[in-house]
Amino acid sequence: MKRNLFRCLGLAAALATSSIASAQTALRMGYALAPAPNSHYGVAGSAFAEEIAKRTQGRFKIEQYPNSQLGGEREMIESVQLGTLDLVVTSSGPVPGFVPETGIVDIPFLFRDPAHARAVLDGAIGQELLAKFPARNLIALAWGEQGFRHLTNNKRPVGTPEDMKGLKLRTMENPVHITAFRTLGAAPTPMAWPEVITGLQQGTIDGQENPISVITSAKLSQVQKFLTLTRHVYSPAVVILSPKIWGSLSEADKSTFREASKTAAAAMRRFVDDLEKRGVDDLKAQGMQVVMGIDTAQFQSTLAPAYAEYAKKYGQANIDRIKNYK
Ligand code: PAF
């Protein structure tokens, strides 16, 4: 009798444990860079995971897949679209291939500084752009950031548009960037991030461009000699969720996911702010030769034909709305 009672209690405990276990939904999140604390995507992923676990009392568990384990950014977005991956933290690079309107934020020298970019992306314009994603079978939760992009290469110190001539430059798979670098006289080579380090090592490309956050976390000083602080374009990031998961969430959980993604974006921005202060000194100490700035007006005037194309594609009024945003 006593033994039966213990057996029943044991069974009940086992059932309770398994129902807690099955009540937890694991979601897979992919991104291109190192896990926390070594990249802005890593810290964002961890901030997101912690916030979701806290706000849902552990009903959702975010599993992180860093370092392009699940493919390049375009591939990861495709997987999110198909529902074979739940979440991705990605640069804006391949995003216009899915949501063409977002290309407007990739226009060179569009944003004055991080405060301007953050105000635009967190404000009405940024939210209007996020609202375009569901029509493309993607849910964009929040804008994050990587910082302003700079140029690195192995050929020469670059100070003027003239110095860009003929540089085989890896660009993201982004039509706005490709147009800009072609107009500047470089030979843009669109390539997924996982191939870039090998390309630089083997010399199939001379250089690439990325923010300090990426140049440091991906240890590009080991494969690149020259860095020019061009600040040629602001690099937004975005947290994207699969519509399959979104459709299964209650209204309360949807708002939790949105709030957690804002926490992730804030963590990303803090990381970028911190690195902007000390990253260049670190890269110099690692042996990079740094050109501390460029004549922006000179680059902008060389880019005039590209700006005419952007105006045709995105509408000058829309571009001015971003430029003049206060
Ligand atoms: O250059 C890129 O493709 C992106 O900036 C990177 C490094 C994958 C981070 O999103």
pLDDT interval class at 10 (50, 70, 90): very low
| pTM of the entire predicted model | 0.93
Residue 6 placed within a domain: no
Range of the domain at 106: 20-323
pLDDT per residue over 193-234, tens digit each?
999 999 999 999 999 999 999 999 999 999 999 999 999 999
Give residue 199 CA to ligand 1 midpoint distance, Å: 15
- Whole-number pLDDT of residue 16: 43
The tally of domains found in the chain comes to 1
Predicted confidence (pLDDT) at residue 9 exceeds the cutoff of 50: no
Name the average pLDDT for the chain.
94
| Amino acid found at 299 | F
- Whole-number pLDDT of residue 22: 52
Residue 177 placed within a domain: yes
The atom number, within ligand 1, closest to the CA of 172 reads 3
Give residue 31 CA to ligand 1 midpoint distance, Å: 9
CATH of the domain at 82: 3.40.190.170
Residue 15 placed within a domain: no
Residue 267 placed within a domain: yes
End-to-end CA distance of the chain: 77
Predicted confidence (pLDDT) at residue 125 exceeds the cutoff of 50: yes
How far apart are alpha carbons 42 and 32 in whole angstroms? 9
- Mean pLDDT of the 161-167 span: 97
Residue 8 placed within a domain: no
Q: How far is CA 299 from CA 57, 159, 178, 271, 304, in A?
A: 52, 10, 15, 29, 9
Percent of the chain with pLDDT over 90: 93
- Mean pLDDT of the 308-320 span: 98
How far apart are alpha carbons 54 and 75 in whole angstroms? 30
- Whole-number pLDDT of residue 261: 98
Mark out the alpha helices in the chain (DSSP H runs): 2-22, 40-55, 73-82, 114-122, 124-130, 161-164, 175-183, 196-202, 212-217, 243-248, 251-285, 296-302, 304-314, 316-323
- Whole-number pLDDT of residue 5: 44
193 pocket-lining for ligand 1 (C-beta < 6 Å): yes
Residue 2 placed within a domain: no
The atom number, within ligand 1, closest to the CA of 68 reads 8
Give residue 294 CA to ligand 1 midpoint distance, Å: 22
The atom number, within ligand 1, closest to the CA of 73 reads 8
Residue 96 placed within a domain: yes
How far apart are alpha carbons 185 and 164 in whole angstroms? 6
How far apart are alpha carbons 111 and 212 in whole angstroms? 17
Predicted confidence (pLDDT) at residue 8 exceeds the cutoff of 50: no
pLDDT per residue over 128-146, tens digit each?
999 999 999 999 999 999 9
93 pocket-lining for ligand 1 (C-beta < 6 Å): yes
Strands 168-171 and 87-91, by their bridges, are unpaired
Residue 1 placed within a domain: no
Give residue 143 CA to ligand 1 midpoint distance, Å: 15
pLDDT per residue over 258-301, tens digit each?
999 999 999 999 999 999 999 999 999 999 999 999 999 999 99
Give residue 22 CA to ligand 1 midpoint distance, Å: 36
- Whole-number pLDDT of residue 232: 98
pLDDT: which is higher, 261 or 7: 261
Burial of residue 182 (CB within 10 Å: 0-12, 13-18, 19+) is middle
Residue 16 neighbours by CB under 8 Å, 6+ apart: none
Q: Which of 235, 268, 272 to mutate to test the pocket of ligand 1 (most atoms within 8 A of CB)?
A: 235
- Whole-number pLDDT of residue 151: 98
Predicted confidence (pLDDT) at residue 113 exceeds the cutoff of 60: yes
Burial of residue 246 (CB within 10 Å: 0-12, 13-18, 19+) is middle
Predicted confidence (pLDDT) at residue 64 exceeds the cutoff of 50: yes
- Mean pLDDT of the 58-74 span: 98
